[in-house]
Amino acid sequence: MNIFAKWKVILILAVLILSTWFLVPTIRWYSMTPKARQDLQKVDYKEWKSINEGKLNLGLDLQGGVSLLLRVDTDALQAMAMDKEIERINTEFTAKNSPIRATLSENSAYIIIAYPDEDQRQAASNIAMGSDILEKIDSPDGKLYYQPSPLRINQKLSDTVEQARHVIENRVNELGLSETMVAKVGDDKIAVQLPGETDPERATNIIRRQAFLEFKLVADDALINSIIDEQGNLRPGAIIPDGYELKYLKETKGTDITKIPILVKKRADLTGDHITSARVSRDSMSFGAAYVELKLDREGARMFERVTGMNVNKKLAIVLDGEVKSAPNIQERIPNGSARITGQYTENEARDLALVLKSGALPVPLVIEESRTVGPTLGYDSIRKGIMSAVIGGILIVLFMFVYYKGSGLIADLALILNLIILMAAMSMLGATLTVPGIAGIVLTIGMAVDANVLIFERIREELRAGKTPRAAIEAGYGRAFSAILDSNVTTIIAAFMLVQFGSSAVKGFAITLMVGITISMFTAILVTRVVFDWISLRSGFKKLSI
């Protein structure tokens, strides 16, 4: 065997060794039971992580999990934008000591500003048009009407969807799952896939939770008692002071739930935008009750220090998604930017709350358009049927090649087996995900992998019938069939590449597997089989080729 052939052998052996190396994590992972994986994660997290990251990942349709299609609540987005504009306008009016106030129309479609005289009309209009989303519409005398600009709302929607996608992606990453997918769909939707998620309800709650955290000062007890009766209801004729809102703090004692009315400022003194970390801790003074400890950034710590320093002996309500979680008394100025959310949380509830707070708040509520849970049983059934189809197809092809091409067919069968091994290793190395369409791509690859050998073998037969020696026929067969093999495979790869670029996720799984499989078949069907034929033909006493 010449030096060139030896380099071929070295290349083939290197590819096989590398393929085996990349397949080891996959073999180890899927040979372990779920309990064995959990035990390994606790005992040796570094090794568990290495195996988990190196294995061939299975798609949602194979290992089960959760698939969600979420829609940004555009009505809530517009309502929040309108409320923000009204607050901005009225704040500017107050700063100018103006009695004018902006209000929302009954159908929530317009902002209305009533002005007392023409002198104040222009001033009110200037303040209102300081907005980046409002546009003026025809107004009757004595009032100004404004509505959201459709163009600006659409721009805000696009930004909001992208912001929501980023927050959801952060939360999904904290769940510790592999091969998750969070992608924008259309103008206002987000698709989420969580392969391997075993608790769909928990995952959905974590993803959808808005987690909007606010710190709001509580009014003095005397002010609350002046408008609230003994039953905790608003007294007849009582009016909630401007700038405040009535909330209720739930206290649970055994099976009894008590609602304590508190009056909090509408405007938050601090929001969760300044949170840098959130973790679960336990209170040694309250029988180990779980709570969430927060750390604020430098700006948040400065603001928190100012608020607590100016309001010692007053209460500060911690409001999460509009619900008061606690209202502790400020004992002293807090300079270190540390806060806590207490409540009757279980360990898991506190952990989930810490997760969503750490990932940031969703800018708007999300609506579930579609929720689909794929059970592991369905996934295992898909795997079983997919493997069965691949095995049956492979066996039929192996038998056909052996019966029709005899000894040469066995060489093609060897190349086919190597093709499957290298294909699985390549998908593991590339971090690809195996799906049901991907298995279909493997089945198709099995058939196409021997197509090159069929062309070569038929060409060799023609050369043998023309009277050439077996060695010369092998040389001519590979040389003359190569261009046809290359053309057919390249065109198929181009088609598969276009499917990857423009196809849906299911089509992409099929196309990626097919594209990688065909590329590898060029290596196994041409290079590997040629090396074997060279080794056979160069042996002493070789006179006849079994084909």
pLDDT tens for each residue of 434-464: 877 888 888 888 777 788 888 888 888 888 8
Number of domains the chain contains: 3
If asked whether residues 388 and 506 sit together in one domain, one would say yes
Q: Is the pLDDT of residue 287 over 70?
A: no
Averaged over 132-158, what is the pLDDT?
81
Three-state secondary structure along 447-501?
Answer: HHHCHHHHHHHHHHHHHHHCCCCHHHHHHHHHHHHHHHHHHHHHHHHHHHHHHHH
Q: Is the pLDDT of residue 377 over 60?
A: no
CA angle 110, 113, 119 (to 5 degrees): 145
Residue 160 lies in a domain: no
Q: What is the Cα–Cα distance from 461 to 505, expressed in whole angstroms? A: 43
Q: What is the Cα–Cα distance from 531 to 113, expressed in whole angstroms? A: 86
If asked whether residues 432 and 519 sit together in one domain, one would say yes
HSE toward the beta carbon, residue 233, CA cutoff 13 A: 4
* Residue 324 and residue 248 in contact, taking contact as beta carbons nearer than 8 Å: yes
Residue 519's domain is classified under what CATH number?
1.20.1640.10
Q: Rounded to whole angstroms, what are the CA distances from 28 to 51, 100, 230, 288, 354?
A: 7, 72, 66, 39, 33
In this predicted structure, what is the pLDDT of residue 261? 87
In this predicted structure, what is the pLDDT of residue 254? 63
Confidence of residue 380 (pLDDT cuts 50, 70, 90): low
Confidence of residue 175 (pLDDT cuts 50, 70, 90): confident
Residue 201 lies in a domain: no
In this predicted structure, what is the pLDDT of residue 544? 81
End position of a domain, from candidates 346, 372, 398: 372
Q: Is the pTM of this model over 0.85?
A: no
In this predicted structure, what is the pLDDT of residue 178? 64
End position of a domain, from candidates 347, 372, 397: 372
DSSP-assigned letter for residue 218: B
If asked whether residues 339 and 394 sit together in one domain, one would say no
Average pLDDT score over the chain:
82
Confidence of residue 360 (pLDDT cuts 50, 70, 90): confident
If asked whether residues 465 and 437 sit together in one domain, one would say yes
Q: Which of 252, 281, 264 is nearest to 214 (CA)?
A: 264
* Residue 360 and residue 211 in contact, taking contact as beta carbons nearer than 8 Å: yes
| 457-505 per-position pLDDT tens digit | 888 888 888 888 888 888 888 888 888 888 888 888 888 888 888 776 6
Q: What is the Cα–Cα distance from 117 to 225, expressed in whole angstroms? A: 40
Q: Which of 124, 146, 120 is nearest to 135 (CA)?
A: 146
Tokens of 178: 């592999």
Residue 104 lies in a domain: yes
In this predicted structure, what is the pLDDT of residue 504? 67
End position of a domain, from candidates 111, 130, 153: 153
Q: Rounded to whole angstroms, what are the CA distances from 127 to 86, 95, 119, 431, 516?
A: 11, 11, 14, 55, 61
| 183-229 per-position pLDDT tens digit | 888 888 998 888 877 677 888 888 888 888 888 999 888 888 888 88
Residue 356's domain is classified under what CATH number?
3.30.1360.200
| 225-278 per-position pLDDT tens digit | 888 887 778 888 888 887 888 888 887 666 677 888 889 988 888 888 888 888
Percent with pLDDT over 90 in the chain: 1
Pairing of the two strands 433-434 and 102-104: unpaired
251: containing domain: 209-372
Q: Is the pLDDT of residue 344 over 80?
A: no
Q: Which of 147, 156, 202 is nearest to 175 (CA)?
A: 202
Residues in contact with 224: Cβ distance below 8 Å, sequence separation at least 6, in sequence order: 261, 262, 263
In this predicted structure, what is the pLDDT of residue 536? 83
In this predicted structure, what is the pLDDT of residue 376? 58
If asked whether residues 368 and 387 sit together in one domain, one would say no
If asked whether residues 113 and 259 sit together in one domain, one would say no
Q: What is the Cα–Cα distance from 213 to 300, expressed in whole angstroms? A: 13
| 56-81 per-position pLDDT tens digit | 877 777 777 888 889 988 888 888 88
If asked whether residues 416 and 363 sit together in one domain, one would say no
Residue 542 lies in a domain: no
If asked whether residues 145 and 235 sit together in one domain, one would say no
CA angle 214, 218, 224 (to 5 degrees): 140
In this predicted structure, what is the pLDDT of residue 506? 67
Q: Is the pLDDT of residue 9 over 70?
A: yes
* Residue 11 and residue 531 in contact, taking contact as beta carbons nearer than 8 Å: no
Confidence of residue 538 (pLDDT cuts 50, 70, 90): confident
Residues 418-436 as b/e (b if ≥16 CB within 10 A, e otherwise) read: bbbbbbbbbbbeeebbbbb
In this predicted structure, what is the pLDDT of residue 288? 63
Percent with pLDDT over 70 in the chain: 93
